[in-house]
Amino acid sequence: MKKGAKIAIFAGIAVVVFLGVFLGITLTKDIGKSEEQITTEKAEKQFSTLLQDIKVEQGKARKAAISDTDILSDEDELPSIDTYPLSVEGTGAVNVEIFSSPEKAGTGTDGWLNEVAENFNREALTIDGKIISVSIRSVSSGLALDYIRSGKYVPEA
């Protein structure tokens, strides 16, 4: 087949596709639409009719008495620190406890801080002849702040 014939066939197919799309859009553009166009006044009247079926009631505000004895201090609301056991326990005469998030002091790949602390403790480093060590407690940062701020538990430093 010659190059000119291929171009003519391609152009013919393109024209047929274009006409098909154009006619399809033209013939179906009004499917599902109403022939009637309503005025603003008629729309407002229909809207008002629909609004009559809606009932609105104003709720009454409830007031509950709160006594001073119902309010717990931050310290009283916090669970015992034993709920969060040490993930690494230092045994040195001088021990520093570190609060750390579970993402750093967890298990497996999340336990890198535990590994560092265990390696540090194995070294048995000394200060003034006393062995120093590190303890790690896995506690979320917000809860750790609550323990320290309330004074319920402050890590040894």
Question: Which tens digit of pLDDT belongs to each residue from 46-83?
Answer: 888 888 888 888 888 777 766 666 666 667 788 888 88
CA distances from 149 to 14, 64, 100, 107, 154 (A): 76, 30, 16, 27, 8
130-140: pLDDT as tens digits: 999 999 999 98
Rg (CA), the chain: 38
Q: To the nearest 10°, report the CA torsion of 80, 81, 85, 90.
A: -150
150 pLDDT band, cuts 50/70/90, is confident
**H or E element in which residue 21 lies:** helix 3-28
Mean pLDDT value of segment 82-87? 89
Listed residue (138, 134, 133, 91) closest to 110, CA to CA:
138
Q: What is the pLDDT of residue 15?
A: 94
CA distances from 132 to 85, 98, 124 (A): 20, 14, 7
Parallel, antiparallel or unpaired: strands 86-88 and 126-127 = unpaired
Most distant CA atoms of the chain, gap in Å: 99
